[in-house]
Structure 1
Amino acid sequence: MIYLVPESEVEKTCEIFCEKNALADFHTEKYLNRVVTSPNQLVEKIQIFDAGKDDRIMELVKLLATDSILKNDPDKEFDELRFAVDDDGTNILVIINKSEITGAVDIDNMYEFASSHCDDFKDLRDDEDVVINREWILNKLTEEEN
């Protein structure tokens, strides 16, 4: 279940799903809850799950890809990386700058690498985090360092 809400409603929406006094028990084996704040994030989450990938690991892959892109081309400008599957079924991150796709990165190997190093991630359906984005993965990595 992916919920598209305005940025101003994220905290309230998370309370509905996560707090001890939530309005209802939304934790079931059948559903995985996510909260996103843009139509592009909604589409991306759907594509990630349709590809059988873990969106938490995908956020780590985006960090790895960003680092790789900037090491290879320090002057490369882009606003975001977004998951997609190309015509031949390869998992990629499209590079977007000013709403235009300016390139793509094949991420199958990066995903496998990141997945093999995420042993401490809980089972996807047991994780109570519902907002999975760049800020989330940066916080997770900071927690691990401490």
Structure 2
Amino acid sequence: MSLKNTQKIKCPDCGTEGEFTIWQSINTKLNPQAKEDLLSGELFAYTCPKCKKVHYVNYGLLYHQMEKQLMIYYAISKEDEKEILDTFDKMENGDMLPGMESTDYTCRVVHSQNQLREKAYIFDIGLDDRVVEIMKVMMVAHLSQTNPDLEVGDIFLEITKGKPERFVIRLKNGVLGNSPFSQKVYDAVKAEYIDSKGDGKRDYIVDMNWAVECLKNK
């Protein structure tokens, strides 16, 4: 099931109070509109009813896609992360959460709203997030070799109309760049680095740090 509550939000600009819906969990089968709001970025956006300024509210939530047996939790603190990791471990031992028909889930923990949206998109179109993170690390390594003065802040896969289009790169100096997504490179990385016998369902935190360790182990 989905869980949500309504809270009063005070606009930081004009001080006007308004109501804002906070989701503790989203079941995409029961609330498809909430899923679309998440993917578009609207789920965290609060628009002041008076001055119309848009502010983004930060809160943790569980993204539950039943049809893909997928759970992604956005943890906003170490305490949140520890709690959900304990819950995922219990699931592995057979404890089911409300709304689950099986414990055979792919589980992930992310640490930003952008990571949550990206993971949801990646799984929605059937890509392997482990491959995507390895591709990111390879891109950073290439940039470091060709442009040693550039420092990468974030990299996110941009998906348009259900297809991976490009990697958006934000440098630490604020400059944005991009690199096209290559299905050929994706397939090669998957064949080279992803164990065909391992499904990665219990790799709870799959990010660039995870990818670095994966490459080291190879």
1:107 Cα deviation from its structure 2 partner: 2.7
In structure 2, the partner of 1:40 is 114
1:94, 1:101 within 8 Å by CA — same for their partners in 2? no
Structure 1 pair 7/138, CA: closer, same or farther in 2 (3 Å)? Answer: farther
Q: How does 1:40-119 map to 2 (within 5 A)?
A: 40-86=114-160, 89-98=163-172, 100=174, 102-108=176-182, 109-119=184-194
1:61, 1:107 within 8 Å by CA — same for their partners in 2? no
**Structural RMSD (CA):** 2.9
Q: Which has the larger radius of gyration?
A: 2
In structure 2, the partner of 1:14 is 85
Aligned-partner SS, 2:156: strand
d(CA) in 1 for partners of 2:158 and 2:142? 18
2:209 aligned with 1:135: yes
CA displacement, residues 76-126 of structure 1 (integer Å, 9 cap, x when unaligned): 2320111112579453210013595611111313312211202425443x6
d(CA) in 2 for partners of 1:112 and 1:101? 29
1:130 Cα deviation from its structure 2 partner: 1.3
1:52 Cα deviation from its structure 2 partner: 1.9
Which structure has greater strand proportion?
Answer: 2
TM-score using structure 2 length:
0.55
1:64 Cα deviation from its structure 2 partner: 0.8
What is the aligned-residue identity percentage?
Answer: 26
Aligned-partner SS, 2:158: strand
d(CA) in 1 for partners of 2:201 and 2:92? 18
Q: Any stretches of 5+ residues in structure 1 without a counterpart?
A: none
Structure 1 pair 14/69, CA: closer, same or farther in 2 (3 Å)? Answer: same
The residue type paired with residue 188 of structure 2 is F
Aligned-partner SS, 1:33: strand
Aligned-partner SS, 1:128: coil
Which structure has greater helix proportion?
Answer: 1
Q: Any stretches of 5+ residues in structure 2 without a counterpart?
A: 1-70
